[in-house]
Amino acid sequence: MTTRFRAVFFDAANTLVHPHPPVGELYARTARNYGIGVSASAVQAEFRRSWEVMQVQAAGDPVRYGIGEADGRRWWHALVMETFRPLGLPQPFDAFFDELYTLFAQPDVWRVYPEVEEVLRTLKARGVITAVVSNWDTRLGPLLDGLGLTPYLDHVVVSAIVGWEKPHPRIFASALALVDVPAAQVLHVGDNYQQDVVGAQQMGIHAVWLRRRGGGDADCPVVSSLRELLTMIDGAPAGA
């Protein structure tokens, strides 16, 4: 699939960036300062369980994190409390949560995947509009800036700011309005099939499923590295 796309949308978490060390290790390390000694693997398992619990509770909501920072803090507060409920709650809990919330806003605990800067730089050089379309709270914009990615991005569309979350059409519509490009001339890539592939396709946007560990059949191209996008996009204006 080599197409003259005029814009490329990217998911953020596990597409452009990922936490490092893993969430479980960061949570466990911080918890030790608040009287709870627990292994990173145990916390990671509880985090995954709690994440699923919170997804079920949020089913039907247009956006998990609400709108604005206060809503996002409340959502993460509930998730962290659910994660530590079976392990023992660090005390004082609010101070522990505040430290974690601040920690995950810092670029130091995130890593940019090795090929990301090269891909974004190449797309920009080809005249392709680039945007992030992400289910995230209000910390994403400053985080991308701190990680040095902002110069390569034309737009950042965050669910907690626009009030709609992938796969809802409204978040993709917000991104399309910003880039002012027809959906058929836009490519979206992300690691979550339902949110990124189905969400984009229902808006007429071409979708690529990123599976960094390989494998998987889908009704769209599947890549294991964002570098593969460069062979799909020739960078010339559509219709030229």
Helix (H) or strand (E) holding 110: strand 110-112
Cα angle, residue 33 at apex, residues 50 and 51 outer, rounded to 5°: 10
| Per-position DSSP letters for 194-225, written without gaps between them | IIIIIHHHTTT-EEEEE-TT-----SS-EESS
- Number of neighbouring beta carbons within 10 Å of residue 222: 16
C-alpha–C-alpha distance, residues 122 and 144, integer Å: 18
pLDDT in the model for residue 240: 36
pLDDT in the model for residue 55: 82
Burial class of residue 186 in the structure, from the number of CB atoms within 10 Å of its CB (0-12 exposed, 13-18 middle, 19+ buried): buried
pLDDT in the model for residue 214: 78
How would you write the pLDDT of the chain (240 residues) with one tens digit per residue?
Answer: 556 899 999 999 999 999 999 999 999 999 999 999 999 999 999 999 999 988 877 766 777 788 899 999 999 999 999 999 999 999 999 999 999 999 999 999 999 999 999 999 999 999 999 999 999 999 999 999 999 999 999 999 999 999 999 999 999 999 999 999 999 999 999 999 999 999 999 999 999 999 998 776 788 999 999 999 999 887 544 433
β-bridge partners, 209: 190, 222
pLDDT in the model for residue 2: 54
Q: Is 156 helix (H, G, I), strand (E, B) or coil?
A: strand
Burial class of residue 230 in the structure, from the number of CB atoms within 10 Å of its CB (0-12 exposed, 13-18 middle, 19+ buried): middle
